[in-house]
Amino acid sequence: MEHQDILHNISIPKFRKLFPDMPGTGLGDDILIADMKYDKALTVFQYPFRFDGYIIIYCLKGKISLDVNLDSFQISANSLVFNVPGNIIRVSGVDPVDKDLHFIVVAMSKDFMSNVRFDFNRIFNESVALMDNPCIVLNKSEEAVCKMYLNLASVLLRDNMENKMEALGSLVSSLSYYLGSIWSGRLSEAVHKPQSPSVKAKYIYDHFLRLVTDYHTSERNMAFYADKLCLTPKYLSKLVKSVSGRSAPDWIDSFVILESKNLLKYSDLSIKEIVVKLNFPNQSVFYKFFKSHTGKTPSQYRHE
């Protein structure tokens, strides 16, 4: 299971290791801009993985199917995907006949982004949940601007200038504000529909999902998430149901099941080790939980 061990968590160094001949530029383990085309090696991403940082995927030609957490997206020309740390990603479809596939990957470490002058939470999370809407299609004007940003970033990475890190940080900050405004614009029509939830309710729901992404392997109690949001469990449950149509416990369980399936199928961990990793009190409780949601025992799912 060599690929599975490598891919469960991906970093910029591991990405380079997987694609040693990939055209691209970068700066240490902080930022990488890769120019990628169809490659049989892409099939290794059929296994779910997490990226230890932020990724922008910009499709220039061709099509690719991408799963992000619980949703599937069809990525085609002029599509742009923004992935945040913690998401479970899987390339669910690459057409081997489509030799025109061409996309740009911009990978940035969490350390690099933490030093960028950019209020990520305010720009993205108050206006749109990237977990719900990680993919947009750029219009001609937006496409031209994004290409200019990427070209300038490539030039800076190749230059031997002083203060390169600071210059790149400022450029990434500017690009992030620009992309944030695009995502906000895409959501604005939906927000103003008569039956759309209030901005405040959507913000709380978005924050809840981010917390579930971060803590679902250790916390499944509604009181924990309500406390983090300074709300009562009853009010949080009602709000999440009104915004998403699904109950808060259902969202938590969905993430735990997704994590469980990922570990059962794509890791070498024993079921006993998975029980510990997911903070279940014992195997019996985990078996009952998994079977009640999937109709199969963990062992049956692993070996089917």
Q: Is the dihedral of CA 239, 241, 247, 252 positive or negative?
A: negative
Alpha-carbon span 92 to 36, nearest angstrom: 17
pTM equals 0.66
How far is Cα of residue 298 from the mean position of the Cα atoms in its chain?
A: 25
Q: Where are the alpha helices (DSSP H) in the chain?
A: 2-7, 12-18, 110-114, 120, 140-158, 164-191, 199-215, 222-228, 233-244, 248-266, 271-277, 283-294, 298-303
Domain layout of the chain by residue ranges: 2-191, 199-303
Q: What is the pLDDT of residue 194?
A: 44
CATH architecture of the domain covering 2-191: Sandwich (2.60)
Mean pLDDT by 10 residues, the chain (304 residues): 51 83 78 80 73 89 83 87 83 72 88 74 52 82 92 87 86 86 68 55 83 88 91 89 87 89 85 93 94 92 87
Alpha-carbon span 281 to 7, nearest angstrom: 28
CATH architecture of the domain covering 199-303: Orthogonal Bundle (1.10)
In which residue are the tokens 């779910």 written?
A: 48
Q: Which of 247, 261, 257, 251 is nearest to 289 (CA)?
A: 257
Four-CA torsion 185, 188, 190, 191, nearest 10 degrees: 150
Alpha-carbon span 294 to 166, nearest angstrom: 49
